[in-house]
Amino acid sequence: MKNNDLSLLNLQDLFESNYVIPIYQRDYTWTEKEINQMLDDIFSVMNSNANYYIGTLIVYPRKNGHQVIYETIDGQQRVTTLMILMTYLFKNEKFVEYSKDKSIFWNPSELISHLDFDSRERSTKSLNSLVNGEKGDAVDNITQAYDIIHKFLSKKSEADKQQFINYLMNSVKILRVEVPEDTDLNHYFEIMNSRGEQLEKHEILKSRLLNIIKDDKPAYQLFANIWEACANMERYVQYGFDNTVRQQIFGNDWNRLSAQNFDDLTQCLKEKFENIKDENLNSETNNISLASILENPNIFIQKDEENKNKEKPDRFNPVINFPNFLLIVLRIMTQDSNIRLDDKFLLDKDIFTAHINTSEKTKAFGYLLLKTKFLFDKFVIKREYFENRNQWSLKKLNWYNERSQSYINTVSISDSDENLELNKSLIMIQAMFHVSNPSQTYKNWLLALLNHLNSIDIQSDCQTGQELYQHLEKLAKCFMVYRYLSSTKLEFDEIIAKSEESVDFNTHEIDKSNLNNGTQVENFIFNYLDFILWKDESFYKAILIDNGDDKSIFEKIKNFEFTFRSSVEHYYPQTPFENHDLLDSNILNSFGNLCLISNSLNSRLNNFSPEAKKDHFKASNIAESIKQSIMMSYPKWTSDEINEHGADMVKLITESLLRN
pLDDT at 277: 47
* The predicted structure's pLDDT at residue 288: 41
The reported pTM is 0.78
What percentage of the chain carries pLDDT values higher than 90?
33
As a whole number, the mean pLDDT across the chain is 82
Q: What is the pLDDT of residues 435-446, one digit of tens each?
A: 998 888 889 999
pLDDT in tens, 397-436: 888 766 667 889 998 866 667 788 999 999 999 999 999 9
pLDDT higher than threshold 70 for residue 118: yes
Closest by Cα among 291, 181, 311 to 240 = 311
Beta bridge partners of 58: 74, 177
Residue 41: pLDDT over 50: yes
Question: SS3 letters for 552-583?
Answer: HHHHHHHCCCCCCCCEEEECCCCCCCCCCCCC
| Confidence class for position 506, pLDDT limits 50, 70, 90 | confident
In a 13 Å sphere around the CA of 129, the CA atoms on its Cβ side amount to 16
Of 323 and 353, more confident: 323
Residue 621 has pLDDT above 70, yes or no: no
Q: Which residues of 266-296 are buried (b: 16+ CB within 10 A; e: fewer)?
A: beebeebeeeeeeeeeeeebeebeeebbeee
Question: For residues 323 and 346, what is the distance between their CA atoms, to the nearest angstrom?
Answer: 7
Instruction: For 42-71, write each residue's pLDDT tens digit.
Output: 988 888 778 888 888 888 888 877 788 888
Instruction: Give the residue among 567, 576, 571 at the shortest CA–CA distance from 637.
Output: 571
Q: Is the pLDDT of residue 107 over 60?
A: no
Range with the poorest average pLDDT among 484-498, 525-539, 555-569, 615-629: 615-629
pLDDT digits (tens, 9 = 90+) for 288-324: 444 443 344 443 344 444 444 444 556 899 999 999 9
- Residue-level pLDDT at 128: 77
**Rounded Cα–Cα distance for residues 477 and 611 (Å):** 34
Write the single-letter amino acid at 571: Y
